[in-house]
Amino acid sequence: MSLGRNRSNSIPTLRLIVVGAVIGLVFFVYVGTLFSMQIVDGYIYALRAEQVTRRSTLIAAPRGNIYDRNVTTPIATNRESFAVDINPAEIPREQIDTVFASVAELLGMSVDEIHRRIPAARLGVFQPIEVKSGLSFAAILPVAERKNGLPGVSWRIKPVRYYVDGEAFAHVVGYVGDITPEELQVLFNRGYTADSVIGKAGVELQYDELLRGRPGREFRTVDAQGRRVAEDIQNSIPPEQGNDIVLTLDRDIQLLTQKALGNRVGAALVLDPATGDILSMVSYPRYDANLFYSEGGRAYFADVSLDPRGSFINRAIQAQESPASTFKVLLTTAILENDAFPVDRTVNCPGYYVVGNRVFHCHKQYGHGDVSLFDALAESCNVYFYTMGNEYLGIEPLVDYTRIMGFGERTGIDLPNERAGLVPSPEWKERVFADGWRPGDTVNFSIGQGFLQVTPLQLADMVAAILNRGVVYRPRIVKEIRDPVTGTVVESREPEVLRTVAISGETFDLVKQAMEGVVLDGTPQVVMTTNAPTGGKTGTSETAAEERKHSWYIGFTPRSPGSDQYVVTVVWVDAANEWDWWGPYATNIIVHGIYNSLSYAETIADLRTRHNPWLWYGRGLP
């Protein structure tokens, strides 16, 4: 009996032990979990809580300045302006239409434009949405005066791009604008956002990532609904300005070139052949990017975009045209290098050249008579070069010499959207037109007409090759990258050899002499009245419109008296007729101004008083 009682008493004791163990285990698990949540994982929950209550807004970084080679006054810089934002969730629903209408009236915009920026789906968002930027302090004042009656409306400083010389540098420097959805898809992984302002053309586009800087962040504390409670100024990150860029352009030469070209459809540039530096590059028609960011900017941008002449086209690197008689310089080079025809032997020019049943005319109706090579280049005798190309050189050597001089390929200048031109060949014509090459094609090729297309920059490189005895440096626009704060040089761009033309230096020396003879005794003699020693070649090319011609001029001159550092000038102008020679007239102004260190106005005055002033009468100086 006593054994049974002991056994029954042990059962409750065992149960108590088991229950106690389970309770103890649960307790320790619970304590461990609390420890993990509060101590081990506490920082995670604290971070999440902070993220819920903190919001950040990007602060736009000022873009870097753009300078000319002298690093004095910036070409492109930033000026303070204001942007107006609307936080739609802070506006009582019944006041939305009233507030939108008031803001539209104060800012001179339509209510529909505000609704496009703040659609119905975003009316409950506690985030400021930009409705207009580029505003002056005077434009903000009416908004500030009515602040109490405009809930959810705020403004902030937002730097806007400013181009000091207006349209003078338009096609080289370019312009900036708001990023598009298509651009954002490509650039999102590089730190761009939907609010980014990016380069759209020229240097602004080519070097956007260097110029754009690093945006800052402004932190604020918000409640559960996203409403602003307090600012967190201490932890805000200031923006970093983008790098400054120093161009190879010379402001004085750029302004001189721009005014010399005037309001004539075409392009002009000045190149330093010893380095590849572009000293000036202008194109017309132009645009003033400052007007894109002003009142009526959208309408002005639309007008520029729809201009049938192509205001956004940089004709110095994007216009492809027949080089006309300027190409005779290359043909002269080929004749000399190939020893195709004795220099002093003459060809008779009766004013025409017959190939099969076709007659090709010289620009001089009754011909030049007997002419040798240098006389033919000076007088731009078509018949002489028809004969050389068709009878003594042939199309294959012509194509080879054209290509080794760099035509038909891009120069690689550090500007976007350069075009390559076209060097036709029998194979090309068969592939494109399913037609064979004919002698008439060779005849046209020989004087730079027909299918051949070049850019002004390619012609400048051809002249550079002549001056450098075959060495051509890659044309460049950017010279240095500088720190915006200290001004120290971060990166210096050194001249780069683009090609060395496999033609003897002696041949190039003769061609240079021939070009000097062209100015002294040839077609541009009456136009080139400058006191600067210079050489060059004129050209007048046909266009699709019978009444329009293209007036070309390529040339070179010392930069200053006693200097052996040459620059190259190339001009292409859409002329009203074959005698509207603004190409050489503009070059005369540019060369004279550079050589004598004169401004445009001083150059015109000097040319009028010292060099055949009757030539300038009625010429419609720009």
For the four alpha carbons of 506, 507, 510 and 516, in that order, the dihedral sign comes to negative
Q: 309: buried, middle or exposed (CB in 10 Å: 19+, 13-18, 0-12)?
A: exposed
pLDDT at 622: 44
Residue with more model confidence, 19 or 282: 282
Residue 307 CA from chain centroid, whole number: 19
- Of the candidates 349, 396, 408, the one whose C-alpha atom is nearest the C-alpha of residue 376 is 349
pLDDT at 133: 79
- What pLDDT band is residue 316 in, cutting at 50, 70 and 90? very high
pLDDT for 206 beyond 80: yes
pLDDT at 546: 53
- What pLDDT band is residue 579 in, cutting at 50, 70 and 90? low
Q: Are 616 and 581 in contact (CB under 8 A)?
A: no
Q: Tell me: the pLDDT tens digits for 91-104?
A: 888 888 888 888 88
- Residue 14 gets the label, from left (phi > 0), alpha (psi -120 to 50) or beta, of alpha
For residue 90, the number of C-alpha atoms closer than 13 Å in the C-beta half-sphere is 19
Q: Tell me: the pLDDT tens digits for 514-564?
A: 999 999 988 888 888 899 999 999 998 765 555 557 889 999 999 888 887
d(CA 312, CA 304): 7
pLDDT for 83 beyond 60: yes
What does the mean pLDDT of the chain come to?
86
pLDDT for 439 beyond 90: yes
% the chain with pLDDT above 90: 55
d(CA 158, CA 82): 5
For the four alpha carbons of 176, 178, 184 and 188, in that order, the dihedral sign comes to positive
pLDDT for 459 beyond 70: yes
DSSP annotation of 367: -
Q: Are 321 and 453 in contact (CB under 8 A)?
A: yes
pTM: 0.84
Domain boundaries, given as residue ranges, for the chain: 54-247, 251-302+316-616
Which residues are registered as beta bridge partners of 245?
66, 481
Q: Tell me: the pLDDT tens digits for 115-146?
A: 888 888 777 777 778 888 778 788 888 888 88
Which residues are registered as beta bridge partners of 557?
567
Beta strands 129-135 and 74-79 are unpaired
Average pLDDT over residues 294-303: 84
54-247 and 251-302+316-616: identical CATH topology: no
For the four alpha carbons of 455, 458, 464 and 470, in that order, the dihedral sign comes to negative
pLDDT at 555: 95
Q: What does each C-alpha distance from 172 to 48, 292, 598 come to in angstroms?
A: 49, 17, 23
pLDDT for 339 beyond 50: yes
Q: What does each C-alpha distance from 90 to 6, 122, 125, 313 come to in angstroms?
A: 79, 12, 9, 46
* Least confident stretch, 111-120, 175-184, 420-429: 111-120
Angle separating helix axes 251-261 and 600-610, nearest 10 degrees: 60
Residue 491, SS3?
strand
Amino acid (1-letter code) at residue 326: T
Average pLDDT over residues 58-82: 90
pLDDT for 621 beyond 50: no
Which residues are registered as beta bridge partners of 559?
none
pLDDT at 489: 95
- What pLDDT band is residue 153 in, cutting at 50, 70 and 90? confident
Q: What does each C-alpha distance from 536 to 402, 461, 505, 516, 533 come to in angstroms?
A: 19, 14, 18, 6, 11
Residue with more model confidence, 38 or 279: 279
Level-2 CATH architecture, domain 54-247: Alpha-Beta Complex (3.90)
Q: Which CATH number fits domain 251-302+316-616: 3.40.50.150, 3.40.50.720, 3.40.710.10, 3.90.1150.10?
A: 3.40.710.10
Residues in Cβ contact with 166 at an 8 Å cutoff, skipping those fewer than 6 apart: 288, 290
Average pLDDT over residues 150-178: 90
Q: Tell me: the pLDDT tens digits for 343-390?
A: 999 999 999 999 989 999 998 989 999 999 999 999 999 999 999 999
For the four alpha carbons of 92, 93, 99 and 100, in that order, the dihedral sign comes to positive
pLDDT for 620 beyond 50: no
- What pLDDT band is residue 110 in, cutting at 50, 70 and 90? confident
d(CA 470, CA 202): 29
Q: Are 621 and 532 in contact (CB under 8 A)?
A: no
